[in-house]
Each structure stands twice: as structure tokens, then as C-alpha cells.
Amino acid sequence: CLSSVVPAVVASEGGSRRRLPMEQGPEDTGDMVVTQESYELPGADQRGEGATTTTQLAEQFPQIDMPLRVDPPASLKAPERVEALSRDRQIRDSAFSPHAFSLRSSVTQRLSEPPVLGTGGGNASRGVSEARGKSKTKIDSSVAAHSQNQAPHKTAVSDYSMLAFSSQRAGKTQMEGQAYLAIAITLDNMQQYTKAIESYGKFLSVCEKMGDPVIEGLAYNCLGVDCMLMACPPSEGSQFEGVRTVTPESQATLKRAIRYHQRHLDIADDGGQFVAHTNLGLCLGLLGDNQPAAQHHQEALRVAIRLQSFSGQSIAAGNLGLLAMRQGDLGTAKACMDQHLHLVQSLKDASAETNAWTQLGHLANLEGDFAAAVTAYENASQIAEQEGEIGTLKRIICNIGVARGNAGLADHMASLGAFAAAGYGGGAAEASS
């Protein structure tokens, strides 16, 4: 049970109760000034001699329900990562693009066709499965297009491979490690995660020789995140949102990711512990191990509070809310998501605020409070429209229609029942006369 998770974690930190930001006390004004330091996750001084730096997140605005990456230290001179597709872009490509419309038309046509003799109606189901495969291919192709031309990446991989070989021959261990890391990140940008994992493994071997726990933790983090992306590629706007069927192959890959993230946790500084706990919680939640997943998200929240990171607190609270929602613990889910909403509002993260309002609308729908659901969805739609997130806006408008329909459904069904009863009664009276 996740009841009262956020207050319990906050109360247990440091002996006395420690309020999260925006949780007002008698002397609080509710005003917050958020600086760039609010996004950082500085680690405690737990590094060995020769360590490069503390752990920092790669994303400026990390999102809930998404694996977290560690930013390579500047000394490694790693290439830039291609920015991941936003939720809005994934929704547009998977649901509202011309290609998605043609796929829906194809499925509708196949379903309307009479079954071919001897197939048992298999042509319709085959059409649906083919469309799903094409939809996934569409998202993959959008990611590939998002990473622009592949030719420069291939050239870079060839150059870095030559650098790694020559550095190994010359005994330049640090330069060899830099080359392996550059190869792996470039392959990540090309969405070739299997090859990237191989290069990250070579980078890890070099890190172990160097004895720097920060960059060794970076290697474990990269290996774990790539395994997560292989097991569960982005789909319709979120990484793990909703009920997903996890194949045996994906389960094995997620278990492999858990091993990497656990190794990262064992050697990490405070910032790295937050990242590792969050990623472990996501992996375990997807595998259905809800209690261990909740414990890792709670630990991530404790670390974020200790580091006074508003961004970290918002991620941990939001992930706890989503986990509670999937378990059916709607009260806890609402408390956590409310806290997440307050924090992302203070951080002025409009995309995260849109998602938070949308999740609160889903919760209100599940609770049967359809008026509150409409209000939450309308708040989300206003922000999405202001930010130009057209795909997200279209989906939210659909949710508003569903909530309004649910609100009037009982009265409508009652009126239909009364009309039917009156009609049947009138007909019986005419027959008897």
C-alpha cells in the first residue's frame, strides 16, 4: 500500500518533519524563486581520489515515467546527444499524422471485409497486427528523421573507432575510454542500441581500470537506460504509461537493466543514487513488482529532499503517483500527483504541467468525479494550446468529450429507460382496448 507516501517520506527525513516546496506552513508565503541550481543533483563528497565531478542529469527538464540519463563529465569531451522526441511529437506521429490516418483507414477497411473462407476471420486480425507494426515503424522512422542525416554519425563512429584502436595500442587508457563513450553516444543518436551497449561495455572496462566511481557509474547508467529503451521503446507520448504487454524477451532485457542500475546504485554519489533509484523503480514497476518499485521511488524522493532538488522531488512524487494509479490506489495517486503539479508549476515546466493536469483528469474520471475531470483537462488544454502542443491538445479535447459524456450518461440512460417504459406501456394499453 502506498497510502500517505509523500508525507511519510518527508517526516522520516532528518528526524523532524521537513516540508516539500509549496507545502505551506503558518509563516509561508507560497512564493518560490527557482534558479538553475534547482535542476541540479549535486552529489555528496563520496568520491575517491582522482574522481572527475559529481553526478548531473543530462536533461534540463526531466520528465516522469521516463528513464533518467547521467550527463558525462566535461573532461570526457563526449559528443552531444540528439534530443529525444517530446511527448507531443510522439502523439502527433502515432495518432494524428497523415500516416496514422491512413493506417486507421486501412484497419477499418480490413475489419469491414467479409472473412475469407478457410481463414476463420484471420484476415481482419492480421490487418490489425500489420497496422500496429507499421505504427511502431512510423515512430521509429520519426526518431530516425529527428536525428537528421545518418551519414555524419557513421563517419564519426569510424573516426572514433580508429582513435580507440590507436589509443589502446599506445596505452592511453583515458583517451581510449573517451573514444568508446563517443562511439556509444553516436550509436545512441542513430537508435542502434544493441551496438551502443557493446561500446558501453568496452567503456565500462576502461572505467574499472581508471578507478573513478563517477564515470564507472556513468557507464552502468548508460547500459541500463539503453536496455530499458530496447525493452520498451517510446510509444504514443510516454515510455511506460498505461498497461503494456511485456514480452518474455523484454522482461529479460529489463532484468538486465535492473542489474546495471543496481551496480550504479552501489557506487553512486547522492545524485547518482537518485537516478539509479528512479530507474530501478521504473523497471520494477513495468515488471509488476510494485512494492519494490514504490520503495525505490520513495528512496529517490528522500535523496531529492536531502539535496533540496525541486526537480528531483517532482519526478519522484510523479512516479509514485503513476505507480499508485496503476495499483488502483487513487487516493495516494491524487496526493502524489497534486504534489508533482505544485512542483512543476514552481519550476515553470509547461510540458510537465500539462501532463500533470492530464493525469489528474484521468484520476478524477476513475473516481467518478467527471466535473473535476473536465476542469483538469481544460487546464491542461489551455497550457498545451499556449505551448503549441497540437497533438497533446487534440488528445486532451478527446478526453474532455469522454468526461462530459460520462457526466451525462446516467441521466441520458435514465431518460431512455423512462421513454422505453412509457412507449411499451402505451402499446400494451392500445392492444387491450
Within its chain, how far is the Cα of 404 from the centroid? 28
User: Which residue(s) pair with 235 in the sheet?
Assistant: 238
Give the three-class secondary structure for 230. helix
- Rg of the chain over Cα atoms, rounded to whole angstroms, equals 25
pLDDT of residue 425: 55
Rounded to whole angstroms, what are the CA distances from 353 to 326, 348, 381, 382? 20, 8, 11, 11
Quote the cell numbers at residue 143: 526518431
DSSP 73: P
pLDDT of residue 216: 92
* Per-residue pLDDT tens over the stretch 143-159: 444 445 677 878 888 88
Please say whether the structural domain 348-419 has been given the CATH code 1.20.58.
yes
- Per DSSP, the chain holds a count of helices (H) and strands (E) of 16, 0
pLDDT of residue 267: 93
Buried residues in 226-249 as b, exposed as e (16+ CB within 10 A) = bbbbbbbebbbbbbbbeeeeeeee
Report the sign of the C-alpha dihedral through residues 196, 202, 207, 213, in that order: positive
pLDDT of residue 224: 96
Residues of the chain with pLDDT under 50: 4, 7, 10-52, 128, 131-132, 134-147, 236-237, 239-240, 242-243
DSSP string across 393-433:
HHHHHHHHHHHHHHHHHHHHHHHHHHHHHHHHHHHHHHHH-
Q: 101, exposed or middle or buried, with CB in 10 Å at 0-12, 13-18, 19+? A: exposed
Model confidence, pTM:
0.77
**Intra-chain end-to-end CA distance of the chain, in Å:** 64
